[in-house]
Amino acid sequence: MRRWAVVAAFLIVAGGLLLGGARMRPFGAPRYDLMDRYFNARSQAEVATNNVVTAIVFDYRGYDTLGEATVLFTAVVGVALILRRLKR
Amino acid sequence: MTILAILQVVVLILIVAGSVLAVWLKDLLASVIALAGASLLLALQFYLLQAPDVAIAEAGVGAALTTAIFVLAIRKTQRKEEE
Amino acid sequence: MSVVVKTIARILLPVILVFGGYVILHGHLTPGGGFQGGAVAASAVALLLVAFGPGSVKKLKAPFSILEDLGGVAFVLLGFLGIGTTFFFNLLAGSGGLFGAAAPIGPNPGVLNTGGTVPLMNWAVGFKVLGGLGAVMVLFGLFGGDDDR
């Protein structure tokens, strides 16, 4: 019974992935590319960086980086709380 | 089918093989090294898919830092998996 | 660890640190950036920890914590620099001062003195990630006594 459940789950997941892969759009051609073209055209003039990814991460989407920094800080605080030394 | 597409398929198959090996092996240190190899191949796959930023992050965090943390954990506990 | 591992670690340690610094410094020109460079530099701490044991990095716990906090504070302050327009507005880009040169439009080898606040934020986030991941590694190594096996 359990083996059949595993096989069925494997078949469903693999079939879904294969179906999704077969119907995928061609590489580098997303359906909505308005923001892509905006960033590619304007980032050198507006942010003065050659690396468009860095321009997006640190300038256009700075809030996301702030959230990522907060996540990292929270993770470090959590590790320091769990692994702190209780007694000598 | 270009040579790049064939290389991507080979790298993907090797990633799956490394992941299966990481689950399969009973020696935990060998398992961790298999996982590091799969992570490094995943970084190569990111590079082939034209995302070098993600590739550097994956190589630094996935292949180096997690491996070191696992090695430290194995050093502090035991090396063989219990049945 | 054995003598081979220690010798190779001594050779590789400055190379890894220099590469991390390069990835952070050229974050606005080549692939990479603050997080990636910080992670690469933190892997040097991992190498130190695995090769030489936790006793070699025991003193680095407090400096890494302070570095993490200072990096976060510097990042938020650099974000507040452009508060006259919006939060995270790039005030220094194209102003002619520090990192203020205008970038050439189109494909070009890259000028280091461009980017405005982006390179400074790269350094802040890089030190923050180095401090955070390094502190995590050191805490992991020091947990349960620092036996050097």
Question: Looking at chain C from residue 10 to 69, which residues have their Cβ under 8 Å from any Cβ of chain B?
Answer: 23, 31-33, 35-36, 39-40, 42-43, 46-47, 49-50
Contact (CB<8Å) A46/C79? no
B24 CB-contact burial (10 Å; exposed 0-12 / middle 13-18 / buried 19+) = exposed
Separation of alpha carbons B63 and C51, rounded Å: 16
Are A83 and C30 within 8 A, CB to CB? no
Average pLDDT taken over every residue of chain B: 89
Is pLDDT above 60 for C68? yes
Interface with C, mutate which of A42, A49, A61, A66 (most C CBs under 10 A): A49
Predicted confidence (pLDDT) at residue B81 exceeds the cutoff of 80: no
Q: Which residue of B has its CA nearest to A51?
A: B53
**How confident is the model over A58-72, as a mean pLDDT?**
89
Residue C146 has pLDDT above 60, yes or no: no
Query: Residue A88 above 60 pLDDT?
Result: no
Confidence of residue C145 (pLDDT cuts 50, 70, 90): low
- Domain range holding C20? 3-142
C7-36 confidence digits (pLDDT tens): 999 999 999 999 999 999 988 888 888 899
Enumerate the domain spans of chain A.
2-82
pLDDT at B79: 79
Q: Which of A54, A63, A69 sits opposite C118 (nearest CB)?
A: A54
Chain C interface disruption, residue of B69, B71, B78, B79, most C CBs within 10 A: B69
- Domain boundaries of chain B, sorted by first residue: 3-76
DSSP letter for each residue of C50-98: HHH-GGGGGGGHHHHHHHHHHHHHHHHHHHHTTTTTSTT---STTSSST
The percentage of chain A sitting over the pLDDT mark of 90, rounded to a whole number, equals 31
C90 vs A32, higher pLDDT = A32
Would you call A51 and C30 a contact, using CB atoms and an 8 Å cutoff? yes
The pLDDT assigned to A70 comes to: 92
* pLDDT tens column, C75-113: 998 888 878 777 888 777 777 777 777 778 878 887 888
A-chain CB neighbours of B50 within 8 Å are 28
Whether the CB of A74 is below 8 Å from some CB of chain C: the reply is no
Q: What is the pLDDT of residue B83?
A: 66
Q: What is the pLDDT of residue C114?
A: 82
HSE on the CB side for B55, CA within 13 Å?
A: 13
**Does the pLDDT of residue A46 top 90, yes or no?**
no
Residue A62's identity, in one-letter code, is G
| Residues of A with Cβ-Cβ distance to C27 under 8 angstroms | 51, 54
The whole-angstrom distance between C14's CA and the closest CA on chain B is 16
* pLDDT (tens digit per residue) in B1-58: 688 889 999 999 999 999 999 999 989 999 999 999 999 999 999 999 888 999 999 9
Please check the confidence at residue C69 and state whether its pLDDT lies above 70.
Answer: yes
| Residue B54 to residue A53: CA distance in whole angstroms | 10
pLDDT for the residue numbered C149: 46
Average pLDDT value for residue range C125-148: 83
Q: Is A79 exposed, middle or buried, given 0-12, 13-18 or 19+ CB atoms closer than 10 A? A: middle
Tokens (6 digits) for A63: 């809030």
Q: Do C50 and B71 touch (CB under 8 A)?
A: yes
Q: What per-residue confidence (pLDDT) applies to C85? A: 79
Nearest to C46 among B65, B73, B76 (CB): B65
| Beta carbons of A83 and C116 less than 8 Å apart | no
Mean pLDDT for the stretch of residues A7-31: 90
User: How far does B20 lie from chain A, in Å, by closest CA?
Assistant: 15
**pLDDT number for residue A25:** 84
Number of domains in chain C: 1
pLDDT for B73 equals 87
In degrees and rounded to multiples of 5, residue C142 shows phi and psi of: -80, -10
pLDDT in tens, C31-66: 888 899 999 999 999 998 888 888 888 888 889 989
- B50-67 pLDDT per residue, tens: 889 999 999 989 888 999
More confident residue, C148 or B57: B57
Contacts of A62 in chain C (CB under 8 A): 79, 87-88, 121
